[in-house]
A and B are shown apart, each in its own frame.
Chain A
Amino acid sequence: MNLKVVKNLSFALFFLYFFLVSIKLLEKGIKTLGAEYTDQLFESVSNPFAGLLVGILCTVLVQSSSVTTSTIVGLVGSGVLSLEYAIPMVMGANIGTTVTNTLVSFGHVRREQEFKRAFAASTMHDFFNVIVVIILFPLDLITGFITKMAEDGTEFILATGFTATKPDSPIKNAIKWGSNNILDGLNAVPFIGNLNENSYRVYAVILIVIAIGCIFLSLRNVVKNMKSLMLNQIEMGLDRALAKGGGLLAILIGILITFSVQSSSITTSILVPIVGSGILSIENAFPITLGANIGTTITAVLASFAVDNSAGLTIALHHVFFNAIGVAIIYPIQFIRNIPVNLAKSLAVVTAKRRYVAILYVLVTFLLLPLLGVVLFN
Chain B
Amino acid sequence: MSKNSLDNIDAKLSEMLTNSTRVFDISMNALLGDTNLDSVRDDLYDTDKAINELHREVRREMIIHSAVNSRSLDIPLLLSYMTMSKDIERIGDYCKNLFEIAETGNTFAKGDDLDSYIELRNDIGKLIVYLQSCIALDDESKVQDLITLGSSISTDIDKRITALLENKEKIQYPVATTLFFRYLKRIVSHIVNAATALIMPTDQIDYLDE
Chains A and B bind each other:
yes
User: Which residue of A2, A233, A270 is within 8 Å of B2 (Cβ)?
Assistant: A233
Point out the residues of chain A lying under 8 angstroms from B64, CB to CB: 235, 238-239, 242, 274, 279
- Inter-chain contacts of A236 with B (CB < 8 A): 2, 5
Chain A 1-42: CB-based contact to B (< 8 A → 1; otherwise 0): 110010000000000000000000000000000000000000
Whether A234 sits at the interface, judged by CB under 8 Å, is yes
Taking CB atoms and an 8 Å cut-off, the chain A residues in 217-256 that contact chain B are 231-236, 238-239, 242
| Segment with Cβ contacts to A, from B22-30, B66-74, B160-168 | B66-74
B1 contacts A232, CB within 8 Å? yes
**A277 CB within 8 Å of chain B:** yes
A295 within 8 A of B: no
Contacts of B70 in A (CB 8 A): 273
A231-B69, A273-B70 known; A279+B63 contact, CB < 8 A: yes
Known: A242-B60, A279-B60. A273 touches B1 (CB 8 A): no
Please tell me if B61 contacts chain A, counting CB pairs below 8 Å.
yes
Query: Which chain A residues in 245-280 approach chain B with CB under 8 Å?
Result: 270-274, 277, 279
Residues of B within 8 A of A239 (CB): 5, 8, 61, 64
Minimum Cβ distance to chain B for residue A6 (Å):
12
Q: Within 8 Å of chain A (Cβ to Cβ): is B3?
A: yes
Q: Do the beta carbons of A2 and B65 come within 8 Å of each other?
A: no
Please tell me if B86 contacts chain A, counting CB pairs below 8 Å.
Answer: no
Q: Which residues of A contact B65 (CB under 8 A)?
A: 235
Q: Is the CB of A270 within 8 A of B68?
A: yes
* Residues of chain B contacted by A1 (CB below 8 angstroms): 1
> Which single member of B2, B8, B67, B69 contacts A274 (CB below 8 Å)?
B67
Question: When A and B form their complex, what is the total count of cross-chain residue pairs whose Cβ atoms lie within 8 Å?
Answer: 43
CB proximity of A277 to chain B, nearest CB, Å: 5
Interface size on A, residues (CB 8 A): 19
B63 engages A232 (CB within 8 Å):
no
Complexed CA–CA distance, A231 and B68 (Å): 7
Given the complex, which residues of A lie within 8 Å of B68, measured CB to CB?
231, 234-235, 238, 270
Q: Does B4 contact A (CB under 8 A)?
A: yes
A5 touches B63 (CB 8 A): no
Pick the contact of B66 from A2, A231, A233, A273 — CB < 8 Å? A273
Q: How far is the CB of B58 from chain A (nearest CB, A)?
A: 12
Q: Are B3 and A232 in contact (CB under 8 A)?
A: yes
Within the complex, the shortest CB–CB distance from B53 to chain A, in Å, comes to 12
Question: In whole Å, how far is B16's beta carbon from the nearest beta carbon of chain A?
Answer: 18
Is B49 at the interface (CB under 8 A from chain A)?
no
B3 contact set on A, CB distance < 8 A:
232
> Could you tell me the distance between the alpha carbons of A270 and B63 in the complex, rounded to whole angstroms?
10
Q: Which 10 pairs between the two chains have the least Cβ-Cβ distance?
A: A235-B5, A273-B67, A232-B2, A277-B63, A270-B67, A279-B60, A274-B67, A238-B64, A234-B68, A235-B68
| Complex Cα gap A271–B3 (Å) | 21
Could you name 7 residue pairs across A and B whose Cβ atoms are closer than 8 Å? A232-B1, A232-B5, A242-B64, A270-B67, A277-B63, A279-B59, A279-B63
Bound-state CA distance A232–B5 (Å) is: 7
**Residue from the set A271, A272, A279 with the largest chain B CB neighbour count within 10 Å:** A279
Assembly CA distance A302 to B63 (angstroms): 33
Query: In the complex, what residues of B have CB within 8 A of residue A242's CB?
Result: 60, 64
Interface centre among A1, A233, A236 (most CB of B within 10 A): A236
Complex: chain A residue closest to B69, CB-CB: A231
What is the chain A residue whose CB lies nearest that of B59? Answer: A279
Q: A231-B68, A238-B68 are in contact. Are A274 and B63 (CB under 8 A)?
A: yes
Known: A270-B67, A272-B67; 8 extra A-B contacts, CB below 8 A, are A1-B1, A232-B4, A233-B2, A236-B5, A239-B64, A242-B64, A277-B63, A279-B59
- Chain A residues contacting B5 (CB-CB under 8 Å) are 232, 235-236, 239
Would you call A5 and B1 a contact (CB within 8 A)? yes
Produce 1/0 per residue, A37-54, CB < 8 A to B. 000000000000000000
